[in-house]
A and B are shown apart, each in its own frame.
Chain A
Amino acid sequence: MNLQSIDRLQSLLARVQANSKRPRTRSQGLSAALAAPGTPEVSSRESAPSTLTVAKAPAVSKAATVTKAPVVTKAPSLATPAIPSAAASSSKDAPAASASLREPPKSAPLPPTPLVALVTPPTPPVAKTSAVSQVESLPPESLSGDELLDVDLSVSEPPPAVVAKKAGSAEEARAPDRVSEVPIEDVSAEELGAEEISIEIASEVMLEAPEPASLPAQAASTSVVPKTFTAPPMLDELTFSEPPPALPAIREPKKEASVEPPPASSAQRISDAPGSIDAAILAATEAQGTASEPEVPAVTPPPESGPQIAVPPMPAPHVPSSTAGANTYRAVEPTMEQLGDVVELEPPSLVPLELAERRAAEARKAGEAGISGSEELEFVPQASEPSRRSSTRDPMQTLVGGFTEEAGSEPKTAVEKPISGISTEVGRAAKAAPSQELDFGDEAPTASSPLAPQAVARPVSTRQPPIVDVVSAARGYRPQSFAELLDASIGLLK
């Protein structure tokens, strides 16, 4: 691996020298540092802090397997080493990790190890530029192959910068502006063998970077991110068609959430640099046909957080499309045009039957039965019968629906409730019912009649037992009004 990289590095070094005259950005400096085999320490100073921070964050490494950054996960092969950093940028389930990524590298103390000891607190970009200039001052001819090999084996600092840029490391992903300034024109993924280099970097970081005192050993071991590299089959098994596993939503400050850009925009900006590794990643992503897939947002608002993305309400069947997509939690109100101002019952459609007609029909029927108006027939409840005493069955029930009128008998009261519901038609039918129910013949309405069941008459019993004493109290009584009947009923027992 390293032997093959020597030639590449030499070619890159030439390019760095050619580009040294141009104004450099930070990433260019890193590229130059990468191209300079003899100055790995310089580039490690620049990139090690961020790389170490990413690698040491346990939550970040955990999120590496659950990455949601589409740019990283969609990359076919080069994305493999970049998953941890990308996951770190998109991971929201590790607030501590996010905070550590945002903090300056000085917050991550580095142990005085041979390699990492060179890592100083983050130097400003000016210092970086000066460091790069120092690197450039070194003649590439003075470097032997062994030195290059040593550099490649022992110091893997240049690749971290590349890795960070490729995968959109946490720091760069958090700061899209800086990422946008990364035109990696000089180094291509193929030339660098970025995959291998990044593996080394991860190893170096894992080995060299001391574990923070606050982190447990297990967390530190899991934070090394080696899973991503040591288990490529698992990564290969990852199909991007599958939805990424949902990260647990964690409340984050709005300020951070507003600062974070979507991963897509970062990838897009990085891809602006033609010939860069990022461009290669993006090209590979597009080659898979996954570029057009909807990208998973890096920030998933927890359901209990403050302002959230309003879920558009389900459009009601009577709601126009303009209001169905309203971005509001308020219940959709139907318009007056759709529902009308007030839903009202249907007006009556049938002509009401006059009570006079009913009375005329009743009188006519009574005349046909041979009963004169002056004749009165006393009646008494059949409850006085001996058999009735032990039964709760109303004798009148046997007469419902028909009329067993005998000679000399008279239906006393055949008042039926006219309306049984709010339905206009039913009520109207009930109104029309009395005239028919008083016919009491074969034409008496049945249950199947449209007037049923309200049309069923319930006449008073005419089969009367010979209890004259009691019946005589009501002899000749015919109330003219309801009030009169009410008064008579009240006056029964004074």
Chain B
Amino acid sequence: MTEPAFDPAQALKIDLSRGLLTLQGSSGRVLVPTDGLVELLTAANGDAVAAFGAGMGSEIGRRISDRLGSGIQQASVELFLEHLGGELALTGLGSLSVERWGKALVLCVEGLKVDARLERVIASLLEAALQRSLSRDVAAILLSREGAVLRFLVAGRHARPQIEKWLAAGIPYGDVLTKLHQASVAESGTTRGES
């Protein structure tokens, strides 16, 4: 079985005669400078910024779902990353990579302008893309910001407060990931003992 690879050919179309920019047949796009976008996001409140990113992520998730079809649930990490990273690159919001820390899924975005608002946009985008494509309600929590690399831990929404609490306490994200696994082991041991 051949898995559908991400093909960016003809994904971005520039209709010069009409002055339109379309992305894979979706609605019109506008090329705006990143600085201008950042200024606009700065003037907006948090909810609006989150909604902006969620809107973009929802479209990305829909397109991934359309391409992978019913086999999206069986798509390998590489394949799904190929599509998700390709879609993110088409929007000009950086390059995507995946890290697996045990059972923890960490999405790394690189090449984005360092800005808190943009980070919020990316987090919302990833959440919406995963929710739309895989039907999982997840929380993309910013673990670290190292240079131009942003690490987002994908966890359950219920775990967000605890993880953000750890991070706010100054715990390195490696320790946070360890704590997550410790908690998982503890839960599994409890479950095993109950059984």
Q: Tell me the A residues contacting B by CB distance below 8 Å.
A: 333-334, 336, 339, 341-348, 352, 354-355, 358, 379-384, 388-389, 392-394, 396-397, 412-413, 415-422, 424, 427, 431, 434, 454, 458, 460, 467, 469-474, 477, 479-483, 485-494
Contact A342 B14 (CB under 8 A): yes
Given known A-B contacts A352-B5, A416-B97, A471 and B181 have beta carbons under 8 A apart: yes
Candidates A393, A394, A469; contact of B182 at CB < 8 Å: A469
Contact A420 B89 (CB under 8 A): yes
Taking the nearest CB of chain A, how far is it from the CB of B1, in angstroms? 10
Contact B134 A486 (CB under 8 A): yes
Task: Report the interface size class on chain B.
Answer: 35 or more
Q: Which residues of A contact B12 (CB under 8 A)?
A: 345, 422
Contact B104 A380 (CB under 8 A): no
Given known A-B contacts A345-B12, A380-B178, A470-B185, A421 and B103 have beta carbons under 8 A apart: no
Taking the nearest CB of chain B, how far is it from the CB of A423, in angstroms? 8
Candidates A418, A488, A493; contact of B159 at CB < 8 Å: A493
- 10 closest A-B pairs by CB: A383-B174, A474-B102, A482-B80, A381-B174, A489-B105, A493-B159, A488-B103, A417-B85, A473-B181, A413-B100
- The closest CB in chain A to the CB of B151 belongs to A394
B28-79 interface with A by 8 A CB criterion: 72-79
B178-192 interface mask toward A, CB cutoff 8 Å, 1 = contact, 0 = none? 101111110110000
Contact A490 B138 (CB under 8 A): yes
Taking the nearest CB of chain A, how far is it from the CB of B97, in angstroms? 5
| In the assembled complex, B81 has its CB within 8 A of some CB on chain A | yes
Contact A413 B77 (CB under 8 A): yes
Contact A469 B144 (CB under 8 A): no
Contact B105 A485 (CB under 8 A): yes
Q: Which residues of A contact B75 (CB under 8 A)?
A: 481-483
Contact B17 A339 (CB under 8 A): yes
Given known A-B contacts A354-B2, A384-B178, A473-B184, A422 and B8 have beta carbons under 8 A apart: yes
Contact B78 A485 (CB under 8 A): no
Taking the nearest CB of chain A, how far is it from the CB of B143, in angstroms? 10
Taking the nearest CB of chain B, how far is it from the CB of A391, in angstroms? 8
Q: Which residues of B contact A482 (CB under 8 A)?
A: 75-77, 79-81, 134
Most chain B beta-carbon neighbours within 10 Å: one of A333, A379, A416, A473: A473
Contact A348 B101 (CB under 8 A): no
Q: How far is the CA of A434 from the CA of B146 in the complex (A)?
A: 24
Q: Which residues of A contact B158 (CB under 8 A)?
A: 493-494
Most chain B beta-carbon neighbours within 10 Å: one of A460, A490, A492, A493: A492
Contact A344 B10 (CB under 8 A): yes
| In the assembled complex, B98 has its CB within 8 A of some CB on chain A | yes
Contact B159 A460 (CB under 8 A): no
Taking the nearest CB of chain B, how far is it from the CB of A483, in angstroms? 5
Q: Tell me the B residues contacting A by CB distance below 8 Å.
A: 2-3, 5-17, 72-82, 85-86, 89-90, 95-105, 111, 130, 134, 136, 138, 144, 146, 153-156, 158-159, 162-163, 172-175, 177-178, 180-185, 187-188
Q: How far is the CA of A485 from the CA of B100 in the complex (A)?
A: 8
Contact B78 A494 (CB under 8 A): no
Q: How far is the CA of A126 from the CA of B144 in the complex (A)?
A: 103
Contact A412 B100 (CB under 8 A): yes
- The closest CB in chain A to the CB of B87 belongs to A419
Q: How far is the CA of A478 from the CA of B28 in the complex (A)?
A: 41
Given known A-B contacts A339-B17, A382-B174, A474-B181, A492 and B6 have beta carbons under 8 A apart: no
Candidates A339, A379, A382, A487; contact of B16 at CB < 8 Å: A339
Q: Contacts A469-B185, A491-B184 given; 7 further ones with Cβ under 8 A?
A: A348-B7, A355-B3, A380-B178, A381-B175, A397-B146, A483-B74, A490-B138
Chain B contact residues, majority secondary structure:
mixed
- The closest CB in chain A to the CB of B149 belongs to A394
Contact B155 A493 (CB under 8 A): yes
Contact B105 A383 (CB under 8 A): no
Contact A355 B79 (CB under 8 A): yes
Given known A-B contacts A420-B89, A490-B136, A490-B155, A477 and B103 have beta carbons under 8 A apart: yes
Contact B9 A383 (CB under 8 A): no
Taking the nearest CB of chain B, how far is it from the CB of A383, in angstroms? 2
Most chain B beta-carbon neighbours within 10 Å: one of A381, A388, A397, A412: A381
Q: How far is the CA of A191 from the CA of B32 in the complex (A)?
A: 77
Contact B10 A415 (CB under 8 A): no
Q: How far is the CA of A1 from the CA of B133 in the complex (A)?
A: 106
Q: Which residues of A contact B2 (CB under 8 A)?
A: 354
Q: Which residues of B contact A419 (CB under 8 A)?
A: 6, 8, 82, 85-86, 89, 95
Contact A422 B89 (CB under 8 A): yes
Given known A-B contacts A348-B9, A394-B146, A469-B185, A486 and B99 have beta carbons under 8 A apart: no
Contact A341 B17 (CB under 8 A): yes
Contact A493 B163 (CB under 8 A): yes
Q: Which residues of A contact B130 (CB under 8 A)?
A: 486
Q: Which residues of A contact B155 (CB under 8 A)?
A: 489-490, 492-493
Q: Which residues of B contact A481 (CB under 8 A)?
A: 73-77, 80
Contact B97 A471 (CB under 8 A): no
Q: Which residues of A contact B146 (CB under 8 A)?
A: 392-394, 397
Q: How far is the CA of A418 from the CA of B144 in the complex (A)?
A: 22
- The closest CB in chain A to the CB of B7 belongs to A348
Q: Which residues of B contact A412 (CB under 8 A)?
A: 100
Candidates A389, A394, A458, A492; contact of B104 at CB < 8 Å: A492
Given known A-B contacts A383-B178, A481-B74, A486-B136, A492 and B184 have beta carbons under 8 A apart: yes
Q: Which residues of B contact A392 (CB under 8 A)?
A: 144, 146, 172
Taking the nearest CB of chain A, how far is it from the CB of B37, in angstroms? 18
Q: Which residues of B contact A417 (CB under 8 A)?
A: 81-82, 85, 89, 95-98
Contact B17 A355 (CB under 8 A): no
Q: How far is the CA of A493 from the CA of B185 in the complex (A)?
A: 10
Q: Which residues of B contact A352 (CB under 8 A)?
A: 5
Contact B180 A388 (CB under 8 A): no
- The closest CB in chain A to the CB of B23 belongs to A422
Q: Which residues of B contact A420 (CB under 8 A)?
A: 85, 89, 95, 111
